[in-house]
Chain A
Amino acid sequence: MDGILQQFARVAADPLTYARDWKARTGRRVIGLFPMHFPGELAHAAGALPVILQQDDVPITVGQSQVFSFYCGYNRSIIDQALRGEFAVLDAILFGDHCVQLLGTADVIRAEVPGLPILFNQLCSVLDADWAMTQTQGTFTQLWRELEALTGAPLPPDAVRDSIRAFNRNRALIRQLYDLRRAGKVVLTGRQMQMVVKSSMVMDKAEHTTLLEQLLATIDQSGVRGNPVRVFLSGHLCHAPRPEVLDLVEDCGGLVVDDDLYHGFRFIHADVAETGDPVEALSHWYIDRNHKVPCPTRAIKGMDWEDYLLKAVDRSGAQGLVVLMAKFCEPHMYFYPEIKEAFDRHGIPHLLIETEHEEMPLEALKTRVETFIEIARRKAAA
């Protein structure tokens, strides 16, 4: 079990090295994807390795020439990586999001890495609009054509369906881990679960799935020891929170039992239909996503992040909520007061941790986390 987790951790720590090795080994294309809603299945079916582009740990240096300090760590890091030449391994970037910061990042990459094709197909962000399904189908159809043009080969629907099956299998296995963890049968720390999910955003699907199967077959199911405070992690869109922050929650007496992090349950929560027209299936996957794990970057009536979180925290048996917010993340800043008020109303302890790319003084944070854990513990005992 530990060996598998270490493999995941190695890939998660250095995704582009994995991508370079994979490319050298296979001679096939590597295609980068921007988070959080663009499917990797089409690129996979086109024979490429779809890699969700990740923030790295390197302090921003050359990137400062093209991005202001008041942008989120993800965008600053992506621009810095692009300017450092880290994306030389990529044969293209796909994205379709509407985050204003990410649009600026795409412009910078186009200007600074002119030989790197960026296939931009903007997704409709109003998921319950009358035209959302038609528009999304058009978007994915256009992407399909552009991938065919990029590879110079037709992309057969059966190949896409095979890729959908491969992705579904991978997601389902990770969801099994989540189920076991919620049920208290296995202990996977916040750091470990992040490594599982983050590596799945990068690795060859078949390879990752094989490792997941081995992990599930060998994982210790003797359950939770002691009496830690059960914690739900929420937020941190687009990029992974630093593992050290997750460690801190557990070092202070917490046990992460569930999350809605993008580098967590948000990424693997929904599957794509394996039969029928693949474009229609992918479109439904996209349009229906907010009904399962609402995303603050998408508009839909009748679904609210805070309502979902209240239910998810209750379902997981968590005794408190830690909101991880990447500094300068606008959608999260907009929705945070809703979450805060909802959890205040229900008397559920919650803690906001704002994260930054460079400066995360963990010692200062430790006192706040310890206090939160203590409050949650007392509240649960009362």
Chain B
Amino acid sequence: MNMIVQPEKRANKLKSTRIAGKLVNDYWEMVWRAKEEGKLVCWYEGSAINPFLEAADIVWVHGEAYSAMLAARHQEGPAQQAAEERGYMKELCSYARTHLGCAVSNQRNRNDTDTGVSNAPDDNDLASKLPPPDMIISAYAYCSTGQQWDEMTSRLFGKKIPIFNVSIPWVWGSKPDAKYLQGREWNETSAYVERQLMDMVKFIEERTGKPYPWDRLRELMTNVKRASELRLEAMDMCTATPAPASFFDWVVSIAPINNLPAGPQIVDYFQTVRDEVAARVASGEGAVPKEKYRLFFDGIMNWNKVGWLAEKFARYDAAVVTGRYTHMAFWQEPGLIDPQNPVLGMAQNYLICPNNHAAPILIDLIMGLCEKYQVDGMVIHASRTCRAFTNPQFLIADAATKRLGIQTSMFEGDVTDESFYKDELLNSRVEAMLEAIDSRRMARA
């Protein structure tokens, strides 16, 4: 490929997202202090059940978030190595593999009493620093790996940790009345998950020995709902040309909506983001210096490569304006949440994680986003060990081409295992797609 890439073009990231970095650091510091402060710790994966835990003053550790944090800091290696040494294979979900590696490291430090040296983990050894769980809650939408991951975590801690499972059924959507958030199947699955969440609350009460503080949950969910509304409002403004923020800005903003403490600070954060986006729209400032292409990003994030990819696409004058991971997940339907009676709405938001609707509904939603944001092409990240995201990708690519007539380009990478990422393949494929977009434009002119 001969496309000339100008290295001086830099991604114009939202300034306000720097606040997210501080919030994230503060949160993990709180997690690392949990045992010193005598707090109960819950490990969980998948669905954002953290408000349930935060309300009960339980410190929460989202497995994917911890693995993503390690990968984003390029500190995932020791955890992945520890997992590999125990026999977890490289083809396993790398989120799980990294998190299980933390559990392996943690147990090694605890049990390694014969070495004559201190067992306390090095302060920089983030794998070992993760406090062990006092309880595990498994509430994973769509992907069967979540339940099995939690089962393994329980075993790594000697099967002594109480575990509670919430089953979140896949929304298959084949009944005649099935539509997004509509139909008998939707109503039945919503009620089923709601019932289980009520049982989960009983499990939490058993762990804390206290009545569940419902008022605190209502307060937190009021914040979550408002933060989500502001986030979606800011995202909607990115239909502007040039797009004021990119997919990568929204990736950086996942933690504040998904797993950080749900106090007023998340509302403040998204208010600040929203205001900056609005100011950019008013001034015509774009997320890339010279927006020439608008792209949809399908697939989960390559956490080792967030900044790298943001810069790469900026150099191509490509604004990645929307994506499945960012725009179809994380309290995506705040309208369903009634803060005074939040459990049903929480269950429903868990049911609409970006993969938990079967392909027909999922693809309709993606095509809707592509049209709304007026994208020219779709870049598809086939994440090697995240089959939940890769499952429908050929169908999505096919629909994008046939329904919308847009170009697609697929590359292989992974959520937290950098070894699956091939930079040159991405370069050549993206360049080919952009050239095809150019050719099509020239033909139309």
**A residues in contact (CB < 8 Å) with B:** 65-68, 70-71, 98-101, 103-104, 106-108, 110-111, 118, 120, 122, 124-126, 129-131, 135, 296-297, 299, 301, 304, 327-328, 330-331, 333-338, 340-341
Bound-state Cα–Cα, A106 to B392, Å? 10
- Whether B28 sits at the interface, judged by CB under 8 Å, is no
Cβ A110 vs Cβ B359 within 8 A? yes
Bound-state Cα–Cα, A304 to B151, Å? 10
- Whether B196 sits at the interface, judged by CB under 8 Å, is yes
- What does the 1/0 interface line of B113-134 toward A look like (CB < 8 Å)? 0000000000000000000000
Q: Closest CB-CB distance, A64 to chain B, in whole Å? A: 9
Question: Can you name 9 extra interface pairs (CB under 8 A) apart from A111-B359, A335-B152?
Answer: A98-B144, A100-B143, A104-B392, A110-B360, A131-B199, A330-B144, A330-B387, A333-B91, A340-B87
Q: A337 touches which one: B86, B151, B165, B169 (CB < 8 A)?
A: B86
Q: B91 touches which one: A104, A129, A327 (CB < 8 A)?
A: A327
Q: How many A-B residue pairs have CB under 8 A?
A: 116
- Residues of chain B within 8 A (CB-CB) of A338 are 152, 155
- Whether B88 sits at the interface, judged by CB under 8 Å, is yes
- Residues of chain B within 8 A (CB-CB) of A340 are 87
Cβ B170 vs Cβ A68 within 8 A? no
Q: Closest CB-CB distance, B184 to chain A, in whole Å? A: 11
Q: A66 touches which one: B96, B148, B152, B394 (CB < 8 A)?
A: B394
**B residues in contact (CB < 8 Å) with A:** 86-89, 91-93, 96, 138, 142-145, 147-149, 151-152, 155, 163, 165, 167, 169-170, 172, 174, 192, 195-196, 199, 358-360, 382, 384-385, 387-388, 390-395
Bound-state Cα–Cα, A333 to B169, Å? 23
The 8 A-B pairs of least Cβ separation, nearest first, read A104-B391, A337-B87, A107-B359, A126-B165, A120-B172, A334-B148, A100-B143, A98-B144
Cβ B144 vs Cβ A331 within 8 A? yes
Report the nearest A residue to B87, measured CB to CB.
Answer: A337
Q: Closest CB-CB distance, A139 to chain B, in whole Å? A: 10
Cβ A100 vs Cβ B87 within 8 A? no
Report the nearest B residue to A339, measured CB to CB.
Answer: B87
- Residues of chain B within 8 A (CB-CB) of A129 are 165, 167, 196
Cβ B143 vs Cβ A66 within 8 A? no
Q: Closest CB-CB distance, A111 to chain B, in whole Å? A: 6
Bound-state Cα–Cα, A108 to B359, Å? 8
Cβ B388 vs Cβ A111 within 8 A? no
**A110-B359, A130-B199, A334-B151 are contacts. A104–B87 as well, Cβ < 8 Å?**
no
Bound-state Cα–Cα, A106 to B391, Å? 10
Q: Closest CB-CB distance, A113 to chain B, in whole Å? A: 13
**A104-B387, A108-B395, A334-B152 are contacts. A299–B174 as well, Cβ < 8 Å?**
no
Bound-state Cα–Cα, A331 to B138, Å? 15
Cβ A107 vs Cβ B384 within 8 A? no
Bound-state Cα–Cα, A100 to B358, Å? 12
Cβ A297 vs Cβ B144 within 8 A? yes
- Residues of chain B within 8 A (CB-CB) of A337 are 86-88
- Residues of chain A within 8 A (CB-CB) of B196 are 129, 131
Q: Closest CB-CB distance, B381 to chain A, in whole Å? A: 12
Bound-state Cα–Cα, A335 to B145, Å? 12
Bound-state Cα–Cα, A70 to B358, Å? 21
8 example contacts (A-B, Cβ-Cβ < 8 A) are as follows A100-B143, A100-B391, A101-B391, A111-B395, A122-B170, A131-B199, A330-B387, A337-B88
**A118-B174, A129-B167 are contacts. A296–B144 as well, Cβ < 8 Å?**
no
Q: Closest CB-CB distance, A108 to chain B, in whole Å? A: 7
Q: Closest CB-CB distance, A134 to chain B, in whole Å? A: 10
Cβ B167 vs Cβ A124 within 8 A? yes
Bound-state Cα–Cα, A327 to B91, Å? 9
Report the nearest A residue to B393, measured CB to CB.
Answer: A68
Report the nearest B residue to A142, measured CB to CB.
Answer: B188
Q: Closest CB-CB distance, A34 to chain B, in whole Å? A: 13
- Residues of chain B within 8 A (CB-CB) of A125 are 144, 147, 167
Cβ A66 vs Cβ B395 within 8 A? yes
- Residues of chain B within 8 A (CB-CB) of A98 are 144, 147, 170
Cβ A330 vs Cβ B93 within 8 A? yes
- Residues of chain A within 8 A (CB-CB) of B395 are 66, 107-108, 111
Cβ A330 vs Cβ B391 within 8 A? no
**A100-B142, A297-B144 are contacts. A328–B91 as well, Cβ < 8 Å?**
yes
Cβ B167 vs Cβ A70 within 8 A? no
Report the nearest A residue to B362, measured CB to CB.
Answer: A107
